[in-house]
């Protein structure tokens, strides 16, 4: 469910025509819908237990306006770097609603988290634990810790976004978990608070969640018997979204919430959830203009002004994104098939192969859908292409929430060494 619809022959974000934004700021740009973000957040949090912490995964979409929109509904944040932590704090998310994940937290990042009294560090190894103990000791505070455990469960998603298998770098290996907790219990500056798990992203089946959550709940029982005070269970993120209109939709948040509640019900623990994609993906589109339509030897290329540097998911994961014209097709519309590509000098700079679309011409606009998560956050300035603008719509209003990168931001930070004059 989202708020991008055709009205009066034009694709709108809520009550704003995307062509009106394009006319004012040019293309490409990301456009996010407040109503969709709010709806997804509400549907998700209402599906969870009342006291659960819903910590939005900032890596999905870290724009301050997006974070502030979610913060105003009560969202917390799941961060994986000092930069994301600063973004969350800058958007008004209090430390007490922030959890810090990731296999390679530096001591400086740990100190930043401790100074801001974050809710929990999801620690992924014993070496990291020792570093955290040292940093907390130097600051004279105790670090609240959950170990992220690796339950060795196959998430049955794309290999590049699967994190719960024993072969991945993520989490404390299952066979080391008990020693990790025993070590933590002996450290003066560490307070054990919970257990954390995250097995992967874009899961379209509940079975891997069920397997992982069940293992974690058994573990919580064992750890408590060993004398550890486990009061929180962080179940991570990972619930998938529909990218294709013609596929079966993934399980809805209500089914996912019910599963989490059923499996954890006798633990008495507070649940933490870290959804990213589910909140943001369908709340954003990437609007691009057609530069040229090029006839190849045996196919037609629709060359857009957006490219893999703006949205890398198709190139990186062979991800499918729906692409629709901004001008609504009519009964008279002529259709054809295009390879939809960008101007970047890489063969993988392709958004879609052999895709049915109306016949289009230079300056026409298209929208690449389900681009609100892992779109702008994964973009780069490759080929010296400025990062795209970002826009947030609310009802009939819209605002640029990140202007297109200018030349100064693009290369103004480069420095010429003295020997080059």
Report CA-CA distances (Å) from 142 to 34, 191, 296, 421. Answer: 38, 6, 63, 52
> 């004398």: which residue's tokens?
227
Does 62 engage in binding with ligand LLP (CB under 6 A)?
no
Q: Which of 12, 97, 228, 277 binds ligand LLP (CB under 6 A)?
A: 277
* Binding residues among 156-175 for ligand LLP as defined by CB under 6 A: 161
Please name the residues in contact with 318: beta carbons below 8 A apart, sequence gap of 6 or more. Answer: none
**Is 317 marked as binding a ligand?**
yes
Which span (28-36, 128-136, 178-186, 194-202) binds ligand LLP, by CB under 6 A? 194-202
Give 22 or 312: the residue with its C-beta nearer to ligand LLP.
Answer: 312
Total interface residues for ligand LLP by CB under 6 A: 21
**274 belongs to the binding site for ligand LLP (CB under 6 A):** yes
Radius of gyration of the chain (CA): 23
Does 198 participate in binding ligand LLP (rule CB under 6 A)? Answer: yes
Q: Are 304 and 28 in contact (CB under 8 A)?
A: yes
Q: Is 374 annotated as a binding residue?
A: yes
Is 345 an active-site residue?
Answer: yes
Determine if 14 is a binding residue for ligand LLP (CB under 6 A).
no
Asked if residue 101 binds ligand LLP (CB under 6 A), the reply is yes
How far is 282 from 391, CA to CA, in rounded Å? Answer: 15
Question: Which member of 28, 164, 236, 289 binds ligand LLP (CB under 6 A)?
Answer: 236
Q: Is 16:36 a contact under the CB 8 Å cutoff?
A: no
Task: Give the total residue count for the chain.
Answer: 421
Across the strands, what pairs with 294?
301
Backbone φ and ψ of 41, nearest 5°: -65, -45
Q: Which is nearer to ligand LLP, 113 or 237 (CB)?
A: 237
Q: Which two structure tokens, joined as six digits, stand for 286?
A: 């990437």
Scanning 20-28, 235-243, 292-300, 344-352 for contacts with ligand LLP by CB under 6 A, the matching segment is: 235-243
Choose between 83 and 227: whose C-beta lies nearer to ligand LLP.
Answer: 83
Residue 78 sits in the site that holds ligand LLP (CB under 6 A): yes
Q: Which of 18, 149, 180, 278 binds ligand LLP (CB under 6 A)?
A: 278
- In whole angstroms, how close is the CB of 58 to ligand LLP at the nearest point? 9
Q: Is 374 in the site for ligand LLP (CB under 6 A)?
A: yes
Q: Is 97 helix (H, G, I), strand (E, B) or coil?
A: helix
Q: Which of 127, 345, 416, 420 is catalytic?
A: 345
Note whether 410 binds ligand LLP by CB under 6 A: no
The rounded distance, in Å, linking the Cα atoms of 16 and 32 is: 11
CB of 208 to ligand LLP, least distance (A): 12
Between CA 344 and CA 157 the distance in angstroms is: 28
Half-sphere exposure at residue 412, Cβ-oriented, CA atoms within 13 angstroms:
6
Considering the rule CB under 6 A, would residue 36 count as an interface residue with ligand LLP?
A: no
Q: Which residue among 232, 313, 385, 394 contacts ligand LLP (CB under 6 A)?
A: 313
Q: Which of 277, 291, 290, 250 is nearest to 375 (CA)?
A: 277
For 101, counting Cβ atoms within 10 Å of its Cβ (0-12 exposed, 13-18 middle, 19+ buried), the class is: buried
Q: In sequence order, what E strands does 28-181 have?
A: 29-33, 53-57, 76-79, 98-100, 120-123, 143-150, 172-173
Tell me which residues are annotated as active site: 345
Question: Where is the binding site for pyridoxal 5'-phosphate, in residues?
Answer: 238, 274-277, 374
Residues within the interface to ligand LLP (CB under 6 A): 57, 59-60, 78, 101, 161, 198, 201-202, 236-238, 274-278, 313, 317, 374, 378
Binding residues for substrate: 277, 313, 317, 346, 374
């Amino acid at each position: 469910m989202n708020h991008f619809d055709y009205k009066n022959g034009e694709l709108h974000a809520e009550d704003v025509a995307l062509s009106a934004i394009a006319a004012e700021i040019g293309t490409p740009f990301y456009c996010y819908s407040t109503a969709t973000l709010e709806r997804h957040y509400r549907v998700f949090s209402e599906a969870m237990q009342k006291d659960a912490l819903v910590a939005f995964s900032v890596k999905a979409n870290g724009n301050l306006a997006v974070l502030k929109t979610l913060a105003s509904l009560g969202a917390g944040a799941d961060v994986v770097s000092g930069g994301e932590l600063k973004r969350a704090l800058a958007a008004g998310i209090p430390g007490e609603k922030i959890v810090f994940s990731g296999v390679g937290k530096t001591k400086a990042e740990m100190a930043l988290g401790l100074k801001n009294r974050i809710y929990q560090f999801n620690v992924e190894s014993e070496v990291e634990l020792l570093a955290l103990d040292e940093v907390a000791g130097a600051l004279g505070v105790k670090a609240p810790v959950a170990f992220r455990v690796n339950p060795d469960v196959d998430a049955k998603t794309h290999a590049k976004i699967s994190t719960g298998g024993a072969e991945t770098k993520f989490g404390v290996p299952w066979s080391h978990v008990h020693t990790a907790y025993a070590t933590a219990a002996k450290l003066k500056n560490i307070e054990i608070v919970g257990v954390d798990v995250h097995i992967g992203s874009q899961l379209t089946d509940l079975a891997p969640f069920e397997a992982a959550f069940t293992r974690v709940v058994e573990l919580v029982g064992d750890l408590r018997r060993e004398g550890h005070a486990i009061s929180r269970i962080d179940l991570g993120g990972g619930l998938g979204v529909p990218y294709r209109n013609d596929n079966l939709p993934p399980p809805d948040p209500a089914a996912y919430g019910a599963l989490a509640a059923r499996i954890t019900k006798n633990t008495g623990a507070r649940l933490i959830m870290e959804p990213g994609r589910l909140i943001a993906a369908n709340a954003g589109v990437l609007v691009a203009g057609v530069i040229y339509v090029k006839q190849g030897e045996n196919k037609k290329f629709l060359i857009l002004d957006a490219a893999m540097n703006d949205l890398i998911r198709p190139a990186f994961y062979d991800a499918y994104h729906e692409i629709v014209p901004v001008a609504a097709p009519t009964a008279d519309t002529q259709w054809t098939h295009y390879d939809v590509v960008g101007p970047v000098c890489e063969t993988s700079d392709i958004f879609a192969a052999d895709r049915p679309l109306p016949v289009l011409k230079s300056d026409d606009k298209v929208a690449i859908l389900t681009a609100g998560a892992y779109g702008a956050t994964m973009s780069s300035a490759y080929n010296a292409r400025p990062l795209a603008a970002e826009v947030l719509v609310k009802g009939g209003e819209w605002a640029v929430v990140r202007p297109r990168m200018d030349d100064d931001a693009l290369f103004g930070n480069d420095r010429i060494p003295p020997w080059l004059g």
